[in-house]
Structure 1
Amino acid sequence: MTQDQGIWVLGYGSLIYNPPQHYQYRVPGIIYGYKRRFWQSSSDHRGTPENPGRVATLIPYESIVEKPEYLHNVTTYRSQQPKCPEDLQVLSMAYYIPAERAQQVLQFLDVREQDGYTQRNVEVHLETDGVKDEGLITALAQLPTHPRTQKPILRTLVYIGVVGNDSFVGLEPIEHTAKVIRCSRGLSGHNNEYLANLYAALLDIAQSLSLPLEQLEDTYLRELVRLVQRDPAVFETSLQSTRI
């Protein structure tokens, strides 16, 4: 990034419902070759060092097919084994930060995502049917179109808790993940709120695309929500009140 360039930042976790400041545009999109899993611990925002919470990260196709336990987990929630990266999808939101705010936002995100997350670049296939801003329409028209999806594609910055980072939990029983989420709280609030806010925001995005969320992704998130709702006091309040 140079001083005269804006940046695109991709959100798939808390950035979806709590976006970066100073963004000028946002566009929903799908990234292929990853699965969203709550396999990253949080010892600051949604937990403490003594009782870390659980937050979302992205697991790449390569790690999934290399580790039999990861492959079994993915197959459990999508009914069939992925045969190529394009079989895996994650619903996301891309944000454009203008040049004059880019460095400020990056510095803020580097702190916000410091608990095990590192910068990566991924390709996102943008869903542009609802875009109405003329300036954004003009900018998106200059992007290349993917030959398979026929969607504009964009290389964008994303923060990922890569497999093996110091805060990476890895595969654990989903019942245990739900229990941790129900019992954890950090500087940014209860871990329940993180899950509820993310789930509500994803449901809204999927609805705007006229597609069921599970058709875009898999049933993992829905099952995690169901298990956390066994103790619904915080969860249901957040889910009912959160909309983007």
Structure 2
Amino acid sequence: MGSINPPFVVFGYGSLIFKPPPHVQSQTPGFLKGYVRRFAQESHDHRGTPENPGRVVTLIHKEDWDHFSGSDAFPDEDIVWGRGISYTIDPAYEAEVREYLDYREKDGYTMETLHVHTIEDEMENITIHDCYVGRPDNPSFIGSEPLDDLAQRIWASVGPSGPNKAYHLPQEYLYRLAESVRQLAPESFDSHLFALEVRPRMTT
């Protein structure tokens, strides 16, 4: 008998949480250890334009983030570490979904394989899944910015996928991500994300 290819499972930690890929067969909440989720990636094609890029999240290893931002004030004990969802894709549509995701994540993101932790029957399991990550050496990586400046950039940015900040529109990014993370894992806390969520609202 021939070997059976493993299913295509992609881990989402940003917009994939609230806007999943097509042809999902199942989904499982999971998290990463040793990583932080940061608005450290420019968006020229979804949440901004080449002239006025918006900001979107990427995953960065905690040790790498310390190198880029020694002044990042958020606590190491946050239990988020890229909290997200693992989506298992219908094998009949794997090629189509890969093409869709490659296009959707084309602005600086590359596919990596990461160890995703899940909790089942009060037991922690580790599986290896694909994940799109904006590595620090990609052209769209912006690194650490002062939180107020970052919030203003998110507030002002508009792109083909809609405003960065709009709260009542289906395309918004920051607020839907914050709300989705709370719904996904009420016990978790993402200091960076939740601090940004408050700042743009204060500017209205």
Query: TM-score higher than 0.5 here?
Result: yes
**1:206 has 2:185 as partner:** yes
CA deviation digits over 1:137-188, x for unaligned, max 9? xxxxxxxxxxxx9412110000000012100101110111100110011111
**1:45-124 alignment runs, 5 A limit:** 45-65=46-66, 67=67, 69-73=68-72, 76-78=73-75, 89-124=81-116
Matched residue SS, 2:142 = coil
Matched residue SS, 1:32 = coil
Matched residue SS, 2:86 = strand
1:88 is displaced (CA, Å) by 7.2
Give the letter aligned to residue 69 of structure 2: Y
CA deviation digits over 1:176-227, x for unaligned, max 9? 11001100111111111100111110010113xxx1x32xxx4111111111
User: Whole-Å Cα distance in 2 between the matches of residues 20 and 96 of structure 1?
Assistant: 10
User: Whole-Å Cα distance in 2 between the matches of residues 175 and 94 of structure 1?
Assistant: 32
Q: Conserved in 1, the CA contact under 8 Å of 2:31 and 2:80?
A: no
Aligned position for 1:167: 140
Q: Conserved in 1, the CA contact under 8 Å of 2:157 and 2:163?
A: yes
1:30 is displaced (CA, Å) by 1.1
What do you get for the CA RMSD once the two structures are aligned?
2.1
From 122, 127, 130, the equivalent of 1:157 is: 130
Task: State percent identity of aligned pairs.
Answer: 38
Any unmatched runs of 5+ in structure 2? 166-171
Aligned position for 1:187: 160
Aligned position for 1:138: none
Structure 2 length normalisation: TM-score?
A: 0.89
Shift of the 161–122 alpha-carbon distance from structure 1 to 2, 3 Å rule, reads same
User: Whole-Å Cα distance in 1 between the matches of residues 195 and 79 of structure 2?
Assistant: 20
Give the letter aligned to residue 116 of structure 1: G
User: Whole-Å Cα distance in 2 between the matches of residues 93 and 27 of structure 1?
Assistant: 6
From 216, 221, 229, the equivalent of 2:193 is: 221
Matched residue SS, 1:31 = coil
1:103 is displaced (CA, Å) by 1.0
> Whose radius of gyration is greater, 1 or 2?
1
Matched residue SS, 2:20 = coil
Shift of the 45–87 alpha-carbon distance from structure 1 to 2, 3 Å rule, reads closer
Give the letter aligned to residue 8 of structure 1: V
CA deviation digits over 1:58-77, x for unaligned, max 9? 11133134x1x52431xx11
Give the letter aligned to residue 225 of structure 1: E
Structure 1 length normalisation: TM-score?
A: 0.75
Structure 1's consecutive aligned runs of 4 or more residues displaced over 4 angstroms after TM superposition are none
User: Whole-Å Cα distance in 2 between the matches of residues 221 and 25 of structure 1?
Assistant: 26
Aligned residues: 196
Q: Conserved in 1, the CA contact under 8 Å of 2:9 and 2:129?
A: yes
User: Whole-Å Cα distance in 1 between the matches of residues 4 and 39 of structure 2?
Assistant: 35
**1:125-140 alignment runs, 5 A limit:** 125-128=117-120
